[in-house]
Amino acid sequence: MKPNPHATTDPYMQLLGLETRLVTPGRAIVAARVGPQHTNIHGACHGGFLYSLADAAFALASNAHGVVAVALSTQMQYFKAVQVGEELEAHASEENLGRRTATYRIEVKSGSRTVALFIGTVFRMQES
């Protein structure tokens, strides 16, 4: 597995309609517009879609150092329901960068409102 610090998208992001707006080491912004294909049994945006948006930003931010980073543990807090037509942005920033692990915070925003908060920790793989 070769790290690609310049990757800005992947097949899963394309399936979901996620658009990368920024990737730098430790930071990323990914955006999406919620469509009818992203809804749950209640007709609102699916929690798995909100998570996937945050997770995409997490993956880009954590791999942009040029070391392969794989997710170990993540956590998601849902604050507000999101409806079809809302424009979302996930903003990833680095909480901690260690040698073998690193932790990121991702805020999912709809305009100025934070609708969900994601915290994730990666394992950083090393050549040996």
| Cβ proximity to a second copy, 87 vs 96, nearer residue | 96
| Cβ proximity to a second copy, 39 vs 86, nearer residue | 39
- Residue 103 exposed, middle or buried by CB count within 10 Å (0-12, 13-18, 19+): middle
79 touching a second copy, by CB under 8 A: yes
Structure tokens at 32: 């999406």
33 touching a second copy, by CB under 8 A: no
The least distance separating a second copy from the CB of residue 4, rounded to whole angstroms, comes to 6
119 touching a second copy, by CB under 8 A: yes
* Interacting residues of 52 by C-beta distance below 8 A, sequence separation 6+: 12, 16, 18
- Residue 122 exposed, middle or buried by CB count within 10 Å (0-12, 13-18, 19+): buried
- Helical (H) or strand (E) element with 12: helix 11-16
Which stretches of the chain bind a second copy, using CB under 8 A?
1, 4, 7, 10-12, 14-16, 36-43, 46-49, 51-53, 55-56, 59-60, 63, 68, 70-81, 95-96, 98, 100-101, 103, 114, 117, 119, 121, 123
